[in-house]
Amino acid sequence: MLLDDVLWYTLSMKRDIICKPSAFKHKITLDNIRHALDYPWYEGALEGYENKYIVLGTDHAGNLLEIMYNEMEDGALNVFHAQPCRTIYLPLLKE
């Protein structure tokens, strides 16, 4: 893994995260990714995939986001996707 391909960040006293550049494709900031991960409304395995998880949580303005990650061997979260939540994932909030 090349350091040029990965941006490293640490969540305060929670979980270490690695944000791939693709996590910022939809203009979601690191601070808002952290907020959604720190205060999830839903977190669970992404159906049909091994070691892929989805978090639904809000940014600082209260906008619902979808965050997707893999868990690394050391427990860090490898965030590869973040965007405003699509309607397809809203039923997860009822679980």
Average pLDDT over the chain reads 87
84 beta partners: 65
**pLDDT band at residue 15 using 50, 70 and 90 as cut-offs:** confident
Sign (positive/negative) of CA torsion 3, 81, 39, 48?
Answer: negative
Q: Are strands 77-84 and 16-19 parallel, antiparallel or unpaired?
A: parallel
Question: What domain count does the chain have?
Answer: 1
Write down how long the chain is.
95
pLDDT digits (tens, 9 = 90+) for 73-91: 988 999 999 999 999 999 9
Give residue 17's pLDDT: 87
Q: Which one has a higher pLDDT value, 2 or 38?
A: 38
Q: Can you give the CATH number for the domain in which 30 is found?
A: 3.10.450
Check whether 44 has a pLDDT greater than 80. yes
Check whether 14 has a pLDDT greater than 70. no
State CA 19 to chain mean position distance: 9
pTM: 0.84
Structure tokens at 52: 């892929």
- Domain of residue 73 covers 3-94
